[in-house]
């Protein structure tokens, strides 16, 4: 009838005619809160080796400092050892320089001593004996002065031939003398401390028809 409101029967309505369901506001708020709380939880996860109070980073710094100290200590020890070697080498050089300082001067004086000795050995029989004794005394004083400097003669006659201190100029057949024995000294050799200043020039014995190691 006109003017009257007809009551709709809900059982006669189709699904498309159903009114939309009301939104559940409580669930949406709860979802937003739960999703908002998840991000900080993930971001708060500590990196491997780190702790909440930062002690992992401190431990890494301490380890790095220890490595630096170890490297510095090793470098210091190497430098100290190099410096000690340098000091020893320089000390040895200075010692050798002082020990053998007279080498050049002594080498220059040896020919003079050779001439004095040769003058005595080849003096004529009619030479003044007093003069000859004076030359012998000079030779002896000369040798004493060289000995003070550390210059001493090298043993030769009767000694086994030693190429480190003897220089053979000839081999002499001598069946009665042991092979490679020095039987004659042509020029005296000298050493300065443990260093050969000049070798002795010698003749070496060897049996007839044989070759010695000095040849």
pLDDT digits (tens, 9 = 90+) for 129-187: 999 999 999 999 999 999 999 999 999 999 999 999 999 999 998 878 888 999 999 99
* pLDDT one-digit tens code per residue, 81-115: 999 999 999 888 888 888 888 888 899 999 999 99
Q: Highest-confidence range of 39-43, 50-54, 132-136, 174-178, by mean pLDDT? A: 132-136
> String of b and e for 196-205 (b: at least 16 CB within 10 Å)?
ebbbbbbbbb
What's the chain's average pLDDT? Answer: 79
Residue 214 predicted with pLDDT over 50:
yes
Q: Which residue has the tokens 């001598």?
A: 174
Q: Which residue has the tokens 């100029």?
A: 169
Looking at residue 8, what is its pLDDT?
46
CA distance 13 to 51: 64
Looking at residue 29, what is its pLDDT?
47
| pTM greater than 0.75 (yes/no) | no
- Which secondary structure element, helix H or strand E, spans residue 131, and what is its range? helix 129-148
Which DSSP symbol is given to 168? Answer: E
Within 10 angstroms of residue 38's Cβ, the number of other Cβ atoms is 10
Looking at residue 53, what is its pLDDT?
58
Taking the alpha carbons of 2, 7, 12, 18 in that order, is the dihedral positive or negative?
positive
């Amino acid at each position: 009838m006109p003017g009257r409101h007809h009551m709709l029967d809900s059982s006669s309505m189709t699904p498309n005619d159903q009114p939309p369901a009301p939104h559940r506001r409580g669930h949406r708020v709860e979802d937003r809160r739960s999703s908002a709380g998840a991000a900080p939880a993930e971001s708060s996860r500590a990196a491997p080796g780190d702790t909440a109070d930062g002690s992992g980073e401190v431990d890494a710094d301490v380890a790095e400092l220890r490595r630096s100290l170890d490297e510095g200590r090793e470098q210091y020890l190497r430098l100290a050892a190099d410096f000690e070697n340098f000091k020893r080498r320089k000390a040895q050089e200075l010692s050798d320089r002082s020990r053998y300082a007279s080498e050049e001067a002594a080498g220059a004086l040896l020919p003079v001593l050779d001439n004095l000795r040769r003058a005595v050995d080849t003096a004529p029989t009619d030479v003044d004996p007093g003069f000859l004794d004076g030359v012998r005394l000079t030779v002896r004083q000369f040798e004493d002065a060289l000995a003070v400097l550390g210059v001493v003669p090298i043993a030769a006659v009767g000694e086994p031939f030693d190429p480190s201190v003897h220089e053979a100029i000839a081999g002499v057949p001598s069946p009665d003398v042991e092979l490679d024995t020095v039987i004659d000294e042509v020029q005296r050799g000298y050493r300065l401390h443990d260093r050969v200043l000049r070798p002795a020039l010698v003749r070496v014995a060897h049996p007839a028809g044989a070759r010695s190691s000095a040849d």
